[in-house]
Structures are given as structure tokens and as C-alpha cells.
Amino acid sequence: DAGITQSPRHKVTETGTPVTLRCHQTENHRYMYWYRQDPGHGLRLIHYSYGVKDTDKGEVSDGYSVSRSKTEDFLLTLESATSSQTSVYFCAIRTDENTEAFFGQGTRLTVV
Amino acid sequence: GQSLEQPSEVTAVEGAIVQINCTYQTSGFYGLSWYQQHDGGAPTFLSYNALDGLEETGRFSSFLSRSDSYGYLLLQELQMKDSASYFCAVQNDYKLSFGAGTTVTVRA
């Protein structure tokens, strides 16, 4: 299995609080992605990174920010959590040469 | 932006053949991938097509027509364990964007 770990795996938080999800890889892959998965919507891209300190927005980036200060870590922050951000969040990694993306096990976030 | 369309559900019996179509609109297209996801699990890679034609990997095959912005995943000799969601994904520049997924249900 690709060395990719998401933390926490489960989290319940209150509306209006900031939340940070962490994606950690041991593969030295260049590309890292954050997706959210909701019934009927598949995997929607939130933000992605193509190198240290190089990030860009995906299709559903409002309310989210990211940081990548080192190759192995990609952080997703919900600046002020809302109930609409209740979802399962997946991180994925990919190399330049390899077209295959490897996914973490997901983080189930509930905003109450 | 990107858009991908695939059917939401397909049901078939064991041993049958299922084809899941995917049409896409995007700029800077590099290739089309397919992923499988079982309930409660993470998506896993099945195949990738960068050029027109058919790629075969065991019971699964994937096809791409770049001129038609169209591809499909062919599942042959269906088994109960193939019951899962299947996603097509377009790769362009640095991005990897997914469709909404097709739920395949295999019946005995």
C-alpha cells in the first residue's frame, strides 16, 4: 500500500469552529489532492498541490484553505465549519510519472 | 472547468458483461482513468487511457476516444465482489477530477 495517512479518521465539531485535517505521505509524491465525497456527487476536488507551497483551487474550494510547507504534508483547513461541510474527506497522492493516484482511508467529518 | 457524465446505476447478474460510459468536457486533456470504490472504502485505481483504443487488464477493459471525448469501462464475467461504485476521472495539467460515479450491483 502507498504510504498515505489521514488524520483524524473521525471528527465531530461545532458550527463556526476551525478544523484542520492532515494528509501525510511517505512516498515523496509531487501531487497531493483533497476531495470531499457526498452521496450523489462523487469525489469533488477541493484543492490540490503540485509542489511545496504550490497549491491551487478545485471545483469546491469556498470555505476551505490548504497549506503544503513540506513535501510529505498537505493540510486542509475549514476556516469556520458549517453543516454543509459535513462529509467524508479523501486525500490522494500521485507522481509525475505514475498516472495512478493513491488514496488515504478518508476522514469522516460531522459539523453539528 | 471540467464536467464528466456517467450513468448513476447499473444492475446485472453474475457472469454478465457491463459497460459504463463516460463523456467528458475539459481543456488540456491528458488522459482518462477509472477507479473502483467499495462501500466504506477508499477509491482504488483500475486503469488509465492516454491514447485512443482499448486497454485490457484481466476481466476489466477500458476504452478511450479522444476525438469524441468519450470512454468506457467494460466489466466482464461479473462476480459478486464487483458490486461497487466506479468513477471515471480526467487528468489535465496538474488536476485530477472525478465524475459522480456509477453504482454497479451484481445479482446472483
Residues B81-105 have pLDDT tens digits of 999 999 999 998 789 999 999 999 9
Pairwise pLDDT comparison (A68 vs B3), residue with the higher score: A68
Q: Is A28 exposed, middle or buried (0-12, 13-18, 19+ CB in 10 A)?
A: exposed
Query: Residue B64: its chain A contacts at CB < 8 A?
Result: none
Residues B62-83 have pLDDT tens digits of 999 999 999 999 999 999 999 9
∠A79-A80-A82 over CA atoms, to 5°? 130
Mean pLDDT value across residues A44-65: 96
Residues A92-107 have pLDDT tens digits of 999 876 689 999 999 9
- For chain B positions 45-74, those within 8 Å of chain A (CB to CB) are 45, 48, 50
Asked whether the predicted pLDDT for residue A1 surpasses 60, the reply is: no
Percentage of chain A beyond pLDDT 90 is: 88
Pairwise pLDDT comparison (B65 vs B3), residue with the higher score: B65
Contact A99 B42 (CB under 8 A): no
Pairwise pLDDT comparison (B27 vs B17), residue with the higher score: B17
Chain A contacts to B (CB-CB under 8 A): 31, 33, 35, 40-45, 48, 50, 56, 58-59, 90, 92, 94, 99-106
